[in-house]
Amino acid sequence: MASDDPLREEITLIQDAGARAASLVRQLLAFSRKQIVCHERINFRDAILEIRKMLDRVLGEEIVLELLFDEDLWPVVADRVQFEQIFMNLVVNSRDAMLNGGTVTIEARNSNLVPGNKLEHFPSMPGEYVLLRISDTGSGMSRETSELVFEPFFTTKEVGKGTGLGLSTVYGIVKQYNGWITVSSELGVGTSFSMYFPKSEEKGDGLRDTPTEEGISIIETGSETILLVEDDIEVRKVLVKFLSRLGYKVLEAFDGGNALTVSGEFHETIHLLLTDVVMPNIHGSKLAEILKEQRPDLKIVFMSGYTEETILRYGVLKAEVDFLQKPIGLMTLAKTIRAIL
């Protein structure tokens, strides 16, 4: 859409609202430990530069964003979505604390903690860590408040503004990676959150490196046949439209049983099964199993909002099946499908 299109602003608002809803859903999934995590080796410097535009947008024009990185920053093992969640939560909090503008500083540093080096402050082992620190020149907090910030549902914001889940989610994520987080704050001066993540042992751990930024992504098209199984009619409609527009031939099914019928009546090749996991009657993973027997070359992509035990059992995290966490971005979907086909 052209930048002067009269509908552009509305569309942008809709898009932003959708993104916010998606991020709230992710927050709840992370909080309830229902989020699928995908471990990758991440360089915080590259990862921060990649989301810089988003951070700028969140902070607005009155707030300056300063970035400080060590050269040759060590990599850490983390999940990309969780990494973004950490940043969104901390940066939104800083923004809320700086209604009259100010500066947010994000630092990423290599940190070698040796015994005796103020280690009593760190509830963890000496060793090599990557320190991630976000500081702001905002309102700061009283001592009493700063002792409560990691508590779930603790918020000083008015109803409808705060959920009190931001920092407890961040805390949970950092812990998951055997790291830890501390806060230091002074009323009227500002606040600083420091997170320590264990340095990743280089290579040989079977993890893939984070792909580097590809710039503006061009959506890749295709012409293969996709069997789409999704019980939510709204979601299904959007996906059919999108995939058809990319050139794919799409067969639709509203549940597992229906998918078996559709597949049985279709006598040509089905290249890919794109299926929801949690569905009435036949579960997505069971469906995949049955269809794979009939069509051994079939590629499979699961979409789900849950970490269902059955998905894990079927081997989503193995190479032969791929998994997309709902809510799904259409660009991610296009890319994943192309990569698999």
User: Where do contacts with ligand ADP occur on this chain (CB under 6 A)?
Assistant: 89, 93-94, 97, 136, 138-141, 145, 149, 154-157, 162-164, 166-168, 191
Least distance between ligand ADP and beta carbon 155 (Å):
3
Provide the CA 263 distance to its chain's centre, in angstroms. 33
Nearest residue to 301 (alpha-carbon basis) of 228, 195, 196, 193: 228
- Nearer to ligand ADP among residue 94 and residue 304 (C-beta): 94
Token pair for 288? 């995949």
Pairwise CA distance, residues 106 & 91, whole Å: 9
Kindly tell me the sign of the dihedral angle through the C-alpha atoms of 195, 198, 200, 205. Answer: negative
Tokens of 41: 């080796």
Number of residue whose CB is nearest ligand ADP:
166
Question: Which residue sits closest to Mg ion, CB atoms considered?
Answer: 166
Q: Is 138 in the site for Mg ion (CB under 5 A)?
A: no
The string of DSSP codes covering 150-200 is TSTT---SPTTT--S-HHHHHHHHHHHTT-EEEEEEETTTEEEEEEEEEBP
Q: From residue 60, how far is each of 14, 16, 45, 47 by CA, in Å?
A: 19, 14, 22, 20
Instruction: Give the C-alpha distances (Å, rounded to integers) separating 251 from 225, 269, 274, 283, 290.
Output: 7, 11, 10, 18, 17
Is 191 near Mg ion (CB under 5 A)? no
Cβ proximity to ligand ADP: between 78 and 98 the closer is 98
- Between 166 and 284, whose beta carbon lies closer to ligand ADP? 166
**Least Å distance between CB 56 and ligand ADP?**
17
CB 14 to ligand ADP: min, Å: 24
Within residues 163-182, the interface with Mg ion by CB under 5 A covers 166
Which of the listed partners (Mg ion, ligand ADP, none) does 141 bind, with a CB threshold of 5 to 8 Å by partner kind?
ligand ADP
Query: Least distance in Å: CB of 167 to ligand ADP?
Result: 3
* Residues in 58-97 that interact with Mg ion by CB under 5 A: 93
**What is the closest distance, in whole angstroms, from the C-beta atom of residue 176 to ligand ADP in the complex?**
17
CB 300 within 8 A of CB 320: yes
Pairing type for strands 127-136 and 180-186 reads unpaired
Work out the angle between the directed axes of helices 233-245 and 330-340 (0-180°, nearest 10): 60
Task: Identify what 139 binds: ligand ADP, Mg ion, none; CB under 5 to 8 Å per kind.
Answer: ligand ADP
User: Which C-beta is closer to ligand ADP: that of 136 or that of 308?
Assistant: 136
By beta-carbon proximity to ligand ADP, the closer residue of 98 and 324 is: 98
CB of 59 to ligand ADP, least distance (A): 12
Q: How many Cβ atoms from other residues are within 10 Å of residue 94's Cβ?
A: 27
Question: From residue 299 to residue 338, what is the string marking binding to Mg ion with x (rule CB under 5 A)?
Answer: ----------------------------------------
Binding residues for Mg ion, rule: CB under 5 A, are 93, 166
